[in-house]
Structure 1
Amino acid sequence: MTSLVHTASAQTDRFVQERLPPLEQWPTLDYSRLPELNIAAQANLVETLFARAFKAGHADRPMLRSDRITLTYADALDRVNRIAQVLTQDFKLVPGNRVLLRGGNSIGMALGWLAVVQAGLVAVATMPLLRAKELGEIIEKARPALALCDATLLEELQIAQSQSGTLQAIIPFNLMRESGCMAVLAAQKDGHFTPCPVAADDIAMMAFTSGTTGKPKSAVHSHRDVLAACEAWPRQVLQARPDDIVMGSPPLAFTFGLGGMLIFPMWAGASVYYPSIAYTPEAMVQLIKHVGATICYTAPTFYRQMAAFARLHSVPALRLCVSAGESLPDATRQLWKNATGIEIIDGIGATEMFHIFISSTPDDVRPGAIGKVVPGYTAKVVDDNGAEVPRGSIGRLAVIGPTGCRYLDDERQRNYVKDGWNYPGDAFMQDADDYFFYQARDDDMIITAGYNVAGPEVEDALLKHPAVAECGVVGMPDEDRGMVVKAFVVLKPGQTGDTVMIKTLQDHVKAMLAPFKYPRQIEFLPKLPRTETGKLQRFKLRKP
């Protein structure tokens, strides 16, 4: 592993550093696998991204787009500087202070995040649908001094603030020109701001997990972490270009969205389009065509729902499609490819690791596999004792790379990091050619009558039936078999969820998979429980 030259921290507020896990619980951080991972000891993430763009001659190229305005890289930097001036001059924030950000994907949210990090502050982005109780829990854990909030989302945050002793002020952004809003405050500044000279290992952000387990945690990432992530999957797999226009549904508050919808396009000198409307499958396809988007990020469910509209409207400029956040069924991959001719780039990442660490380029896809380990990382499939299992065997995924899990003040650190390896909580199989095949979350593996059944495999089979729109498969307690396979199915319009349909779907799965894998129980639902990022919340399906 590469030894690091540490630079004295510029963050005078040490709240986050003092609540990191003890060093013996840290993951091993490996910077030796790519020369690009040797990042300077003093490196401000945002300053570095803008400097890279300007050096490449992109100052006058579009960076942030909407249906109302397009900002070049130079325009965006000027606005980021002005917002940073407001934070540090008007509100006297000092490096290391936390700033909560609340908003959907918008230019205002993106500029706010960049300004916070450039000023040496710690960004705490939150999902726009969170309510006051959930925001209060984040405020209690992160102790932000200030919040930047979309003007349309103030109410719940104001309720949370009234119950908090630490959140001093809320600055609204977007849609307002009133006294006290960010647009007015920033307009009064001259745009001359010197980025905070942070150490690369100073903290840039706290990312709260999206809650598929029901208990969100705060993963902490440094400036070095995010810059290292830029040199791995974006450089080695995605390979975006300056003329790319990026669109997608993952929220900026989710690391998949933050990377794909802001950081990685900046690293490539590309631009991002943020819509003013809520995405539906048809609206996304129409916008992709209208805007001329070339890269799309979204979840498997959306690709499945978008396929028919893509076939109808066509998306001629689109060239790269990225899926992550949950398992990509092969049925969905083929449906999208048949509609567009585009091979989806699958990937598995984690909030705790910042972004994707297993993936493959469109030219290197193997059916059913997520891909190979991304250059810069190493991964293996192990047993419960951490010993690597034979190829073709199912075990737990373990990963080491330039990023890793550090929870803020959370006992679950011990579960995620063991002997320096990160354990994302996934069951995998690796074949002789180094491809990784996702099986299930560790706690989603169904053991029925002594047989192991992976829920995503059954889901993929069900999705191949023409009557099924969506489905989720879990194990349910059973006195005779220990567990039984149960499927929760959303049918397409015009289909009837009755005993005939149950038998039809059971026979369909039996014809595709080993008979012990078929769902002995099927329940029809109008919709499945999902997080804001599109991940299926199987823990909710398991509740009576």
Structure 2
Amino acid sequence: MSETSPAYNAVTYLLDRNIDEGRSHKLAYTDTVAELTYGELQRQSCRVANLLRRLGVRREERVAMIMLDTVDFPSVFLGAIRAGIVPVPLNTLLTSDQYAYVLADCRARVLFVSEALYPAVKDVVGRMSDLECVVVSGQNAFGHKLLSDELKNERDTYVTAPTHPDEPAFWLYSSGSTGMPKGVRHLHANLAATAETYASQVLGIREDDVCLSAAKLFFAYGLGNALTFPMSVGATTILNPERPTPAVMFTLMNKYHPSIFYGVPTLFAAMLNDEQLKAQIGGERLRVCTSAGEALPESVGNAWKARFGVDILDGVGSTELLHIFLSNAPGDIRYGSSGRPVPGYKVRLVNEAGADVADGEVGELLVDAPSAGEGYWNQRSKSRRTFEGHWTRTGDKYVREADGRYIFCGRSDDMFKVSGIWVSPFEVESALITHPTVLEAAVVPEADAEGLLKPKAFVVLRAGAKADGLDEALKEHVKQKIGVWKYPRWIETVDTLPKTATGKIQRFKLRDGPA
């Protein structure tokens, strides 16, 4: 946007527009306990904005959110943005030390926290020099302020702050899988950018859709799924405050009959392989599913389609770019690929020297995105390495096929060469899980006796499978699937694989042995 752009607040686009278009009484959210129509959500967001001003929080200052997916989350998130205050949703699975780091890093003036999550921060909040107030969502305030009580006497109208399209609207912290999380600053214009590209032109979201996301609202993926996208068209969203286990997700699907289900590869695989839930078919209205977080194995996509009769649109996104920028699309799906660039996004594949690579060659994926963050908070050197003018480095290695589809190879720091040829851990893992005994797999480089790198696999077996004598069968299976030089020279059976809260395998933790 130019410096002369008129005032623009993301809440006007996401929420107030729905009221103007006659959806005041339309159900916006249910969290299985409480419900909010669009009109009620607008009034709640105004009360939150007034509360923040009463607490002395000023425009551009930050408020942190450690909140479960309930109707209080969109109320607080949108209320802060309405006031020109910057909400910072945080991962609900962090440790106390990580919360201490992030709260100090973002200098939050107020912390909104769900009652069930307060124990994780109770020993932290008193040490935060910038934190002046804690507001608890739930029944027990633990000696702090209770959100429901604080909002009772607040006015339900508010003059929305005349923010700028390029003004920071909210921050999201990266997963921090290899270190402390980094704060990504996103702008007011970024939310609409994802809605008008992926949600509208790929997903085809509609006003009559009912949305259910396994990914939580504090994730970039979940925020789009359960807030930006449905609100952009006036759809209804089911919020799940619990862990997204197969049993929980099937229960919600059978009760609410979502038309769009947003998942991640590990959950799709778990839902397919849960022996006690084999008869579940995911509700009556399901029309499309999406996947992100990690590449979806071809075997999982095909099995899901065969059982549920619904396609999974596999795509790739990032916290830095807010949502999916490369995706399969309805009528243009090939499992095992990440599809094509989302309309409105440009992509390049470059080698180590920064030159574009040809079709069929491995390169790092760079994206020119209308939804890119403006950088990391207080991390200038990392910002300069990631955000290069129009282009954002994703850290993902891809191959572009002649038909324009992109095939995921792995993270740049996970890829390695065997006999001078790039090996994709994801490709080997995808081959391994097609064996009937293997549920999950992770592949890392290991040095042999001569100091040369070769693939080593860690596998989680399906229930009832025996590890005895399995190594040679799995090696041969991979050779037949993807090539002789790519097979794992060593195979170790483990009970679980280390993962981030988003379900991404933390391969770096396996390089020195399993977690």
Matched, 1:314 2:294: no
C-alpha displacement of 1:362 = 2.4
Within a 5 Å distance, the mapping from 1:368-387 to structure 2 comes to 368-387=336-355
The answer to whether the 8 Å contact 1:289/1:317 transfers is no
Matched letter for residue 512 of structure 1: K
The answer to whether the 8 Å contact 1:212/1:536 transfers is no
Matched letter for residue 172 of structure 1: V
Residue among 312, 315, 327 paired with 1:359: 327
Matched letter for residue 387 of structure 1: A
Within a 5 Å distance, the mapping from 1:158-197 to structure 2 comes to 158-176=122-140, 180-197=145-162
Matched, 1:391 2:353: no
Within a 5 Å distance, the mapping from 1:42-57 to structure 2 comes to 42-57=7-22
C-alpha displacement of 1:340 = 0.5
Within a 5 Å distance, the mapping from 1:277-426 to structure 2 comes to 277-308=242-273, 312-315=279-282, 316-405=284-373, 406-410=375-379, 411-418=381-388, 420-426=390-396
C-alpha displacement of 1:168 = 1.2
The answer to whether the 8 Å contact 2:441/2:458 transfers is yes
2:31 aligned partner? 66
Alignment length, in residue pairs? 507
C-alpha displacement of 1:303 = 0.5
Q: Distance in 1 between matches of 2:446 and 2:178?
A: 17
C-alpha displacement of 1:102 = 0.2
C-alpha displacement of 1:193 = 1.1
- Stretch deviating more after TM superposition (256-265 or 413-422): 413-422
Q: Distance in 2 between matches of 1:270 and 1:501?
A: 49
The answer to whether the 8 Å contact 1:245/1:293 transfers is yes
Report the aligned-residue RMSD. Answer: 1.7
C-alpha displacement of 1:163 = 2.1
Within a 5 Å distance, the mapping from 1:381-530 to structure 2 comes to 381-405=349-373, 406-410=375-379, 411-418=381-388, 420-480=390-450, 482-498=452-468, 500-530=469-499
Matched letter for residue 65 of structure 1: T
Residue among 2, 8, 19 paired with 1:5: 2
TM-score normalised by length of structure 2: 0.95
SS in 1 for 2:314: strand
The answer to whether the 8 Å contact 2:139/2:146 transfers is no
Q: Distance in 2 between matches of 1:363 and 1:79?
A: 40
C-alpha displacement of 1:240 = 1.0
1:19 aligned partner? none
Distance change >3 Å, CA 512–CA 235, structure 1 → 2? same
Matched letter for residue 150 of structure 1: S
The answer for unaligned runs of 5 or more in structure 2 is: none
C-alpha displacement of 1:169 = 1.2
Q: Distance in 1 between matches of 2:454 and 2:307?
A: 36
2:41 aligned partner? 76
The answer to whether the 8 Å contact 1:378/1:400 transfers is yes
The answer to whether the 8 Å contact 1:214/1:539 transfers is no
1:265 aligned partner? 230
Residue deviations 1:286-321 (CA, integer Å, cap 9, x gap): 321211111111110111111256751222211111
SS in 1 for 2:454: strand
- Stretch deviating more after TM superposition (302-311 or 452-461): 302-311
Matched, 1:252 2:217: yes
Residue deviations 1:446-471 (CA, integer Å, cap 9, x gap): 21232211011111111111111111
Within a 5 Å distance, the mapping from 1:90-105 to structure 2 comes to 91-105=55-69
Residue among 158, 176, 191 paired with 1:226: 191
SS in 2 for 1:357: strand
The answer for unaligned runs of 5 or more in structure 1 is: 8-39
Distance change >3 Å, CA 191–CA 370, structure 1 → 2? same
Q: Distance in 2 between matches of 1:304 and 1:61?
A: 34
Q: Distance in 2 between matches of 1:480 and 1:417?
A: 39
Residue deviations 1:314-370 (CA, integer Å, cap 9, x gap): 222111111001111111111111111111011111101111111121211123211
SS in 2 for 1:484: strand
The answer to whether the 8 Å contact 1:176/1:183 transfers is no
Q: Distance in 2 between matches of 1:341 and 1:317?
A: 11
Q: Distance in 2 between matches of 1:335 and 1:262?
A: 29
**Greater RCO (CA < 8 Å, at least 6 residues apart):** 1
Distance change >3 Å, CA 180–CA 216, structure 1 → 2? closer
Residue deviations 1:272-293 (CA, integer Å, cap 9, x gap): 1113543311321232121111
- Stretch deviating more after TM superposition (525-534 or 280-289): 280-289
Residue deviations 1:20-73 (CA, integer Å, cap 9, x gap): xxxxxxxxxxxxxxxxxxxx5321111221132123322111101122222110
Matched, 1:537 2:506: yes
Matched letter for residue 353 of structure 2: N
Matched letter for residue 496 of structure 2: K
Matched letter for residue 474 of structure 1: V
Q: Distance in 1 between matches of 2:189 and 2:64?
A: 21
Q: Distance in 2 between matches of 1:265 and 1:175?
A: 29
Sequence identity (%): 31
Residue deviations 1:77-121 (CA, integer Å, cap 9, x gap): 1111111111112x0111011000002211112211111111111
Q: Distance in 2 between matches of 1:465 and 1:508?
A: 7
SS in 2 for 1:87: helix
Matched, 1:206 2:167: no
- Stretch deviating more after TM superposition (424-433 or 381-390): 381-390
Matched letter for residue 504 of structure 1: A
The answer to whether the 8 Å contact 1:468/1:489 transfers is yes
The answer to whether the 8 Å contact 1:509/1:518 transfers is yes
The answer to whether the 8 Å contact 2:290/2:313 transfers is yes
Aligned structure 1 segments of 4 or more residues deviating by more than 4 angstroms: 176-179, 308-311
Distance change >3 Å, CA 543–CA 195, structure 1 → 2? farther
Q: Distance in 2 between matches of 1:190 and 1:52?
A: 20
2:118 aligned partner? 154
Q: Distance in 1 between matches of 2:443 and 2:23?
A: 47
Matched, 1:87 2:84: no
C-alpha displacement of 1:481 = 5.4
Matched letter for residue 361 of structure 2: S
TM-score normalised by length of structure 1: 0.90
The answer to whether the 8 Å contact 2:8/2:165 transfers is yes
The answer to whether the 8 Å contact 1:286/1:313 transfers is no
Q: Distance in 2 between matches of 1:264 and 1:182?
A: 26
Q: Distance in 2 between matches of 1:45 and 1:508?
A: 51
